[in-house]
Amino acid sequence: MTAQPTAVSAPGKVLLAGGYLVLDRQYTGLVFGLSARIHVVVRPRASTDGVSEEVVVKSPQFEEAVWEYGYRVREEGGGVTVTQLRAASPNPFVETALSHVLTYLTTLSPSPLPPTSIAILADNDYYSHPSTPSTPRFLHFAVPLPSAHKTGLGSSAALVTAFTAALLTHHLPSSTFDLNSSASRALLHNLAQAAHCAAQGKVGSGFDVAAAVYGSCVYRRFSPDVLSGQGEAGSAGFVARLRTTVEDAEGKWDTEVRKGAVAVPAGLRLVMCDVHGGTQTPGMVRRVLGWRAEHREEADALWGELQQENEALAEELRRLAEGGGERGDGKYRRLTECFAAIRTLTRKMSTAADVPIEPKTQTMLLDACTALDGVVGGVVPGAGGFDAVAVLIEDRPEVLDRLKRLVDGYVFDAETDREQKPGRVKILDVREEMEGVRTEDVAQYQDWLS
């Protein structure tokens, strides 16, 4: 363990292509990391009230966002369980990640973790907010965390990844864990996936954690049975199960993360448009999968077409990045065709499953955006609904200005889609980022550490 503070950040994500398909190992997802990051700073602290086994976690951008934890090692190899010491709204992602990391650390050293202070900071674009020319790097949102409106950039996966990486980096020697090592990143990926799935109460596809660890990639999910038998922290044998899983002692992890299969050509950039006040229909994934189960032949044919177009999009991006493609005005014609085909097939699935994957109001917004000169294409990413939309544009100031003028004051027509709440659309200050989790200079967070 180092006596010096340790800072780590992990990026958010956008699943540009492969929504719903990424849940099935037969298919892949094209996922981009984003420049918006979750930052975690770990520091030693003095014990209080004679409690040496204590961890205090703060999210100082929000009101009442302090969690104080005690922990204990359970008998029968149950690992470490965490108890919230004082009344506060529970944070399952922090609590679960903490119990998983502490459990894994006990497999490497029997010594108890010394009292530790952890600060969590989020880049502003994880949450809807009014911006001004003087907006600081980290805003104080002046509301409790549960009241903040998320923009759908993958905060929970970035949080669990950065939180896990920061604790491992802080408490292990670099000879054992080093974020610059591919072996350590694989270990981090496995531990963060286990913790994130446990916090969600289900085994998801894991593309968001993969992006937080590795950055932009083409992703194929792991088989669900890799994590389905983990059990809960505290249950007999949890330590052995977790260590076997994290260190992949049985060679079960079959995730595919292809970094070299995705690129953004020079001269293009990704833009996210936050639909403030939007809502996401609950149970969308469950409803789509239910439709697929009942209409397997139709669904598989549609998913096969979508997979082909998603692969074509990734390939065209990579080809352009390597200097291929046409010259002049037709340079991005094939990219535009890929986006249009993906949207057509997505709307077809949306209609067949009776799920608003690309709702009418989002269709109108994307049509307006893509009609602008310099906009190559766009989609409602991931599971769809009313979260932020993603648009690929030529990376020129005048193109971004045109897009900003369009969305400034944009108001949805409530009569067009009654599930869409009226609200503003805003260009977020994020773009694609190839890099995943990384260590940071602690000095940039000093104003928030107390």
Asked if pLDDT for residue 420 goes beyond 50, the answer is: no
Task: Specify if 317 maps to a domain.
Answer: yes
What's 169's domain CATH number?
3.30.230.10
Q: Are residue 255 and residue 301 in the same domain, yes or no?
A: no
Provide the pLDDT for residue 136.
86
- Cβ atoms of 48 and 162 closer than 8 Å: no
Mean pLDDT in residue range 321-334: 79
Question: For residue 351, what are its two tokens?
Answer: 């209609």
Q: What is the mean pLDDT of the chain?
A: 90
Q: Are residue 306 and residue 237 in the same domain, yes or no?
A: no
> Is the model more confident about 328 or about 59?
59
Q: Are residue 192 and residue 292 in the same domain, yes or no?
A: no
Task: Specify if 50 maps to a domain.
Answer: yes
Locus of tokens 């899983």: 245
Q: Are residue 125 and residue 268 in the same domain, yes or no?
A: no
Q: Are residue 252 and residue 110 in the same domain, yes or no?
A: yes
Task: Specify if 136 maps to a domain.
Answer: yes
Asked if pLDDT for residue 414 goes beyond 60, the answer is: no
Provide the pLDDT for residue 39.
98
Asked if pLDDT for residue 19 goes beyond 50, the answer is: yes
Q: Are residue 246 and residue 313 in the same domain, yes or no?
A: no
Give the separation between CA 381 and CA 30, rounded to whole angstroms.
Answer: 10
Asked if pLDDT for residue 50 goes beyond 60, the answer is: no
Of the chain, the end-to-end C-alpha distance in Å amounts to 21
Give the separation between CA 300 and CA 18, rounded to whole angstroms.
Answer: 14
Q: Are residue 383 and residue 320 in the same domain, yes or no?
A: yes
pLDDT, one tens digit per residue, over 381-405 is: 999 988 789 999 999 999 999 999 9
Provide the pLDDT for residue 112.
73
- Cβ atoms of 67 and 159 closer than 8 Å: no
Provide the pLDDT for residue 399.
97
Q: Are residue 250 and residue 303 in the same domain, yes or no?
A: no
- Count of other CB atoms within 10 angstroms of residue 50: 6
Q: Are residue 126 and residue 100 in the same domain, yes or no?
A: yes
Locus of tokens 């044998």: 237
Domain that holds residue 343: 264-433
Using CA atoms, how far residue 34 sits from 211, 263, 363, 430, in Å, is: 9, 13, 23, 6
Mean pLDDT in residue range 446-450: 89
Confidence band (pLDDT; 50, 70, 90) for 286? very high
Provide the pLDDT for residue 105.
94
- Count of other CB atoms within 10 angstroms of residue 367: 11
With a pLDDT cut of 90, the percent of the chain lying above it is 74
pLDDT, one tens digit per residue, over 173-219 is: 999 999 999 999 999 999 999 999 999 999 999 999 999 999 999 99
Task: Specify if 114 maps to a domain.
Answer: yes
What's 327's domain CATH number?
3.30.70.890
Q: Are residue 319 and residue 361 in the same domain, yes or no?
A: yes
pLDDT, one tens digit per residue, over 163-175 is: 999 999 999 999 9
The number of distinct structural domains making up the chain is: 2
Provide the pLDDT for residue 147.
86
Mean pLDDT in residue range 99-124: 90
Locus of tokens 């009609």: 371
pLDDT, one tens digit per residue, over 295-310 is: 999 999 999 999 999 9
Give the separation between CA 144 and CA 32, rounded to whole angstroms.
Answer: 29
Provide the pLDDT for residue 133.
64
Confidence band (pLDDT; 50, 70, 90) for 408? confident
Q: Are residue 309 and residue 411 in the same domain, yes or no?
A: yes
Task: Specify if 1 maps to a domain.
Answer: no
Q: Are residue 235 and residue 279 in the same domain, yes or no?
A: no
Asked if pLDDT for residue 427 goes beyond 60, the answer is: yes
